[in-house]
Amino acid sequence: MRQIKIFDTTLRDGEQTPGVNLNLAEKIQIARQLAILGIDVIEAGFPIASPGDFESVRAISCEVEGPTIAGLARAVPGDIQRAAKALEGGKNVRIHTFVATSPIHMKYKFRKKPNEILKMAVEAVELAKSLCPEVEFSAEDATRSEWPFLAEVLAAVIEAGADVVNIPDTVGYTFPEEYGRLISYLRDHVPGIDKVEISVHCHNDLGMAVANSLTAVRAGATQVEGAINGLGERAGNAAIEEIVMALNTRGDLFDAQTAVKTEHIYRTSRLVSTLSGVVIQPNKAIVGDNAFAHESGIHQDGVLKEASTYEIMRPESIGLTQSKLVLGKHSGRHAIRAKLEELGYKLSSEEMDKAYQRFIEMADKKKEVSVRDLEALVEEGLSEIPETYKLEYLHAITGDKTIPTATVKISKGDHVMEEAACASAGPVEAVFRAIERVVGLNLKLEEYNIRAVTSGQDALGEVTLKVRGNIKSYTGRGTSTDIIEASARAYLQAINKLVAGS
């Protein structure tokens, strides 16, 4: 089978998802999980974009072993030099440089003629190659480019030293048959293309990103780019988990495979969702809550008799396991650690102490704690932001004939503060106002999402929200069997991120 490389851009293009703002610790955490997953190339950021992006690329290239670490750069000397500086000290590194080749981009964005763009591309690759052992070149908006000119540019950058040429569907414009013909055309018309990796990067504006990527593989592409959970600009990128499992499930059709360890897909997806604050839709392919759920009686009967009747993949293949332990308030620390390790979590002693304490608190409220409950508890504590403000006490009063009122007691180090507030919209608003009084901030709530992690009257509730300070937005996540408490926890987590300046 052909080996298809997987290029992950969750930390670069994925972070460009509106409202997503990952700090350095969170990016390193995701990068390490991507390495465990078996990703070949991690695009860690755009070093020229900000000091934070530069530091992310630098830290990940030095600290994360296994994958090649790439830094993005426009086809201009300053960008390329900055990327090279960020990648210094890394073992396996790549500069990824790009320039647009479509008539609309050349005319309106660059105001340059094709021969000037060609010169920019060649000079960029030559400079990058002199500073870094591996270079990838992307022809931005390739699918709206004139094919002969695109072939000319790719031939020139290959001669200049490019190791990978990427043919992006930057605006999600193309369709599978058309994209497949483009890849085949380039293979036939670009001298030297058989000596480099052919990469594809598809956006999902028309819902075709995964289909286009897979068609490109059949047409000869050897590297596929995308993001976990399909994060990215506008409608997002091709979802890596969907591409990998399609190749894994239909090896007979593609005669191709990846190095991805599929049993780590679910864990990686949950981590990215938790840290990005982007909730996964229930019917999302592969990793959605309903991906392996069966409600129809006919389907249930078939699955019970033979799973393959309605399941083309096994839940275990992506890391979903059934609990063999009944978790309750009498479960010991060892049993909890064993279950977490089975689920793919490797916690430090401090993280384990925190998770176990939250587990005990929940077990007092629930007769049995499910695997999903346990995952949600751990994920809430994944953020490495210092807990400047901590919820110590919460009391809320509400009713259809009562003004919603909330009292909170919050600690900051050894100092404990208490405030109360009323609101017209309900107890959650009252809680938020009381918290704002304690911390001395006036924030704007941009998003508020609530869902049940499990079923039943004692279900664990998960709140994900986004608040805006003066400049940036911050996400927070909280869990509890009491949704008002979960809301308070989420709000405080967002505030702690704001205070930490992340």
Contact 83, 61 (CB under 8 A): no
pLDDT for residue 340? 81
Contacts of 384 (CB under 8 A, 6+ apart): 23, 25, 26, 29
pLDDT for residue 390? 95
All structural domains of the chain = 2-276 (3.20.20.70), 297-380 (no CATH), 390-500 (3.30.160.270)
Burial readout 457-470 (b: 16 or more C-beta within 10 A, e: otherwise):
eebbbbbbbbbbbe
Calpha distance 210→166 (Å, rounded): 16
pLDDT for residue 326? 57
Can you list the positions of beta strands (E) in 120-261?
A: 135-140, 164-169, 197-202, 223-226, 256-257
Q: Closest by alpha carbon to 72, among 87, 59, 60, 83?
A: 83
Cα 242 to chain center, whole Å? 14
- The parts of the chain modelled with pLDDT lower than 50 are 323-325
Taking phi first (over 0 means left), then psi (-120 to 50 degrees means alpha), and beta for anything else, what does residue 319 get?
A: left
Cα 338 to chain center, whole Å? 26
Backbone φ, ψ for residue 156 (5° rounding):
-70, -40
pLDDT for residue 343? 75
pLDDT over 90, % of the chain: 71
pLDDT for residue 324? 44
Calpha distance 301→313 (Å, rounded): 17
pLDDT for residue 129? 98
Burial class (CB in 10 A: 0-12, 13-18, 19+), 314: exposed
Token code pair at residue 339: 């279950």
pLDDT for residue 114? 98
pLDDT for residue 298? 67
Contact 85, 51 (CB under 8 A): no
Calpha distance 55→51 (Å, rounded): 6
Token code pair at residue 180: 């497949």
pLDDT for residue 3? 97
Backbone φ, ψ for residue 448 (5° rounding):
-145, 115
Calpha distance 502→498 (Å, rounded): 6
Amino acid at position 13, single letter? D
pLDDT for residue 295? 56
Contact 472, 499 (CB under 8 A): no
Its pTM stands at 0.85
Q: Which helix (H) or strand (E) holds 495?
A: helix 483-500
pLDDT for residue 164? 98
| 3-state secondary structure labels for all residues of 426-493 | CHHHHHHHHHHHHHCCCCEEEEEEEEECCCCCCCCEEEEEEEECCCCEEEEEEEECCHHHHHHHHHHH
Please give the angle made by the CA atoms of 17, 19 and 25, to the nearest 5 degrees. Answer: 85
